[in-house]
Amino acid sequence: MRDLKTHRQGWDEIEREERRFADDLTIVQSVNIFLSLCDTMAPLMKETEELFRQEREAYLTELQARLRLLDNWREQHGSTGEPL
C-alpha cells in the first residue's frame, strides 16, 4: 500500500495537468464543455432541485455578476479577438 506522501504527489500531478488543460482551452471550448456537463447532469439536477435550489440560485447570481464584469471589461478594452 502506498503511503500518504505518494498519494499527495499523485494528486499534485493531477492538479498540474488540470491547470495546464484549463489554460489551453479557449472560451468557446470552455463554454461547450460546461453546456455538455449541464446536459449530462440535467436529470440529476431535476431530482435534487428542491434540495439544492438555494445554492444554485446563489451560484447563478454570482455567475451573472461575473459575466457582467466580463462584459464591462470588454466594453472598456475592446473585443477579446475571439467571437463568443
36 and 3 assigned to the same domain: yes
Q: What are phi and psi of 26, to 5 degrees?
A: -85, 170
35 and 52 assigned to the same domain: no
18 and 54 assigned to the same domain: no
1 and 41 assigned to the same domain: yes
40 and 1 assigned to the same domain: yes
* 70 C-beta neighbours (distance < 10 Å), count: 13
Taking the C-alpha atoms of residue 72 and residue 1, their distance in angstroms, rounded to an integer, is 53
Tell me the residue range of the domain where 62 lies: 48-84
Residue 61: all three cell numbers together:
447570481
What global pTM score does this model have? Answer: 0.40
Please give the tally of structural domains in the chain. Answer: 2
With a CB cutoff of 8 Å and minimum separation 6, the contacts of 56 are: 45, 49
3 and 35 assigned to the same domain: yes
6 and 30 assigned to the same domain: yes
Q: What are phi and psi of 27, to 5 degrees?
A: -60, -45
pLDDT in tens, the chain (84 residues): 566 676 677 788 888 888 887 788 888 988 999 999 999 999 998 998 899 899 989 999 999 999 999 999 989 988 665 555
Contact 50, 58 (CB under 8 A): no
